[in-house]
Structure 1
Amino acid sequence: MEEWRRGWRTVLGAALAAATGVNLLYFVFSLFIPHLQKETGWTLGEFSQLQAIVGIGSLAAPLAGWAMDRYGCRRIWAGGMVAIALLYLVVGLSPVIPALFGAMVFATGLIGVATTSISYTRAVNGWFFQQRGLALAFSATGISLAAIFLPPLLERVITLEGWRTGYFMLAALALLIGLPSILFLVQDAPAQVPDHEEARRIAEVGPDPFWRSGAFWLIAASYVGINIPTSGMLSQMAPMMLEEGLTLAQAAFGISAYAAGQFFGRLACGWLLDRVHPQRTAFFFTLVPAIGCIILWQTQNHYAAALLAVAAIGVQQGAEIDLVAYFVASRFGLDRYGSIYGWTQVAGWMGTLCGVLLFGKIHDWTGSYSLFQAGAVVSYVLAAVAFLFVRLNPQRVFT
């Protein structure tokens, strides 16, 4: 309980900031698509190309992580929150010109990376050791709760007031909730007690290049295998639900069901990581969404089945942040956490890029999402197996 007594403010602040950063846009952007389609005439495949540009911007993740390691997490995180809010305002006020809209989407990925999991996991990992898994889970539940309750509200705002007002709403959340949470709740991590053997080795030969570690590549491969199917389905969740026979209002609740599964997955995975073999925990939670994909693949016009399926997919997406952050911190420590996690995030975003492009393009080619849903099962299974082979070091102790 001592860890929670000292670190609860940081967990709360991280949860609120995570709920209002750029990750929220990733959850709800599919609600904007039908309205933008009416205004622009763009196809679903073209929207997937625009969304994929976000992944290119995320190549800045290692730089953001390095800056957090060098200058402090809170400073970079707060700056990113202000920048992303201003960008939302610009998008809401600008004309919808393809090149301009694409540039702003790219900027969303470039700037928004400082408000993603690289920031809040960095802040929370520094405060927790024995309860690290659960603390990471609670810090990530903010975005899950926001994604449960906000989509129906945002859908009504967009329908009644237009998609531009939806962007203004996202900007207000970032400035009025996210930024104050970072500034007044998140605290700098306590000093780390050095491991004497590790300190001696680093003094003699320097830190191990992480890219030579098989553990790094296995973590990165798992991240890619998870993100290809998950990001593809999330990027066009509303159109996919419409194809399953739901109305647009029901599709908004489909996003909420996805987020509910994410909420459960985060808490359950975080709790188990502190108590059960981490690799087996990762294996189990990465297999769960494969069941959801099979349900989507084999059913049609079943509202309850569609909600259950997307909730199962959400379970792993919720666990994903816990798993990657836990594995990176446990294997490599916190001295270079931002930089190493940043590179795993690049790998994950490359999976996101492929998933978003394939999801829309496969639909354009085949007229259905079924082929992608079938391939997603294979991707999840491969990612689950990769987690089993990651070797973790004993975690370090903090004062």
Structure 2
Amino acid sequence: MKSSSEFMQNWRLLLATFIGISVGVSSIYFYSIGLFMKPIAAEFGWTRADSSLGALVGTSCAALMVIPTGWLVDRFGSARVAFVCLACLAASFFALGLFTVDLTSYLIIISVMSMLTAGSTPLPFTRLVIVAFEKNRGKALGLILTGTGTGAILLPKLLAPYIAEHGWRSGYFALGTVVLISIPVIWLLLRGAKDTEISTEKERFSAVSLFNTRRFYHLCLIFFLTAVAVLGTVAHFFSMLTDSGLTPPQAGAVASLIGVSVIAGRLITGVLLDRFSAAYITAGLFLVASVGLLTLGLGGPAYAKLGAIITGLAIGSEVDLISFLVGRLFVRKVYGVAYGAVYAVFLVGGAIGPYIAGRLFDMTGDYSSWLYTASASLLIASLLSLFIPVKHTEQSPMTAKAVA
């Protein structure tokens, strides 16, 4: 009875956090990067690498803000930080449409946006769910994190033809409007929700010793390699499709499969992690993704749908895997800093990947060399995952003494 009552009591919170994640920077901005890349480059005469700099600069700035944003959430509450950052995200989209006149202005706006909107990532929304749920915490997190897949499904289908008809500036105005409309809806749904507790100075200080543990760097390397490969591919996937001759609506329909796969990846990974070793699940997932990108590189557009599905499975699981593994490998009192640090490294990889892909395209004229590189990166990450020191039936092996 208590298990089902958690969902009954907190359905408004679940809906609010789902919407928040769906319109947050990790969804609505990330999955729209590829849709704007070619139109903007065509207008200003940029190379594919130039147009990829937005992802590089933006994600790097976001990575710098992950840990400070975690502190702000602890200090001022999840909802307040999320509302401010969502408002900044809406304003940033309008600024991109109004004030982008060259590469410099574009990168400056992206940089400011990324630093001001880190609180619209899943961080504050997952914190709200963690506070509200006890017995069904994993299921609840899996449900709201499928919000990232919403952007991947809807944006290619709806925004791609809109940009093709009305231009990329109008596309940014449309995104800003969507975020702006969502803010009061989320506010109404979250009224009365219990917010996160403020951590003590002692707990924050003890996290310093985290950076003296090898397992921390082990995780960082795995998810860095994964981010380089997967996020680099996602940023250019729409361009891959249109380069092959597909029209924007056709490419959008294929690219939307990534969103469907993201949702499936979230749900399936959660079920598997409850039944099998997290190390084997992580290794197996990245191995499948490696084979998928290799197949896409060898087969070209004929395997585009398969590539979209496999890529979506990988990015539909990374946040779940980071959360699960950090929770198993480190004690609870350093969870926030550990998660933020690993996720920051993941974002750095996600910043570098699109730029490398763009450079390789400029050098070779196609994406084959990038897909081979991404496949190799995922294969290394898969092999490293086999040595993650965690078992399904064990509690966290790191004692409080080890990180105090």
Band of TM-score, shorter chain:
0.7 to 0.9
Residue 120 of structure 2 is aligned to residue 115 of structure 1: yes
Does 2:91 correspond to 1:57? no
Q: How many residues align?
A: 385
Mapping of residues 260-299 of structure 1, within 5 Å: 260-299=260-299
> Using the alignment, how far apart are the partners of 2:173 and 2:358 within structure 1?
27
Letter in 2 for 1:177: S
**8 Å contact kept, 1:36–1:163:** yes
Distance 1:370 1:293, change over 3 A: same
Backbone CA RMSD of aligned residues: 2.6
Question: Would the aligned equivalents of 1:245 and 1:300 in 2 still touch at CA under 8 Å?
Answer: no
* CA deviation profile, 1:243-302 (whole Å, cap 9, x unmatched): 344332221122201111111111111222233332222222222211220221111342
Instruction: Say whether the 8 Å CA contact 1:122–1:338 is kept in structure 2.
Output: no
1:181-260 alignment, distance < 5 Å:
181=186, 184-185=189-190, 187-188=193-194, 206=206, 209-260=209-260
- 1:11 corresponds in structure 2 to 14
Distance in 1 (CA, whole Å) between partners of 2:207 and 2:248 is 52
* 1:363 partner letter: F
Change in Cα spacing, 1:76 to 1:116, as seen in structure 2 (3 Å) is same
Q: How does 1:1-399 map to 2 (within 5 A)?
A: 1=3, 2-23=5-26, 24-58=28-62, 59-178=64-183, 180-181=185-186, 184-185=189-190, 187-188=193-194, 206=206, 209-302=209-302, 305-332=303-330, 335-391=333-389, 394=395
176-185 vs 245-254, which moves further: 176-185
Give the Cα–Cα distance (whole angstroms) in 1 for the partners of residues 175 and 279 of structure 2. 36
8 Å contact 2:34–2:239 — kept in the other structure? Answer: yes
Change (3 A) 1:77 1:45: same
Asked if structure 2 preserves the Cα contact closer than 8 Å seen for 1:222 and 1:383, the reply is yes
Farther off after superposition, 313-322 or 276-285: 276-285
Name the CA distance, whole Å, in 1 between partners of 2:85 and 2:296: 36
> Partner of 2:146: helix, strand, or coil?
helix
* 1:136–1:222 Cα change, 3 Å: farther
SS at match of 1:299: helix
Unaligned ranges ≥5, structure 2: 397-404
RCO comparison, higher one (Cα < 8 Å, 6+): 1
Q: Report the 3-state secondary structure (helix = DSSP H, G, I; strand = E; otherwise coil) of the residue aligned with 2:117.
A: helix
Distance 1:245 1:384, change over 3 A: same
Identical-pair percentage: 26
Does the aligned pair in 1 maintain the 2:229–2:353 contact within 8 Å? Answer: yes
Q: Flag the 1:35–1:207 CA change in 2: closer, same or farther, 3 A.
A: closer
How much has 1:107 moved relative to structure 2? 1.5
**2:68 partner amino acid:** L
Change (3 A) 1:43 1:207: closer
What is the CA distance between 1:190 and its match in structure 2?
A: 7.3
Deviation at 1:69? 2.3
Single out whichever of 87-96 and 56-65 deviates more from structure 2.
87-96
- The amino acid of 1:326's aligned partner reads F
List per-residue Cα deviations over 1:365-394 (Å, max 9, x = no partner).
111211111121221122233334334573
Change in CA separation of 1:106 and 1:191 when aligned onto 2, cut-off 3 Å? closer
Output the amino acid matched with 1:20. V
Structure 2: distance between partners of 1:55 and 1:116: 12
CA contact (8 A) 1:152 1:249 kept: yes
2-side partners of 1:9 and 1:276: how far apart? 32
Deviations 1:175-233 (A, max 9, x none): 212553256338335779x9xxxx9xx89x95572112333222222211110011111
Distance 1:331 1:4 in 2: 28
Q: Structure 1 residue 93: deviation in Å?
A: 1.6
Native 8 Å contact 2:74 2:196 kept in 1:
no
Distance in 2 separating the partners of 1:157 and 1:42: 22
Contact kept in structure 1, 2:82 and 2:119, CA below 8 Å: yes
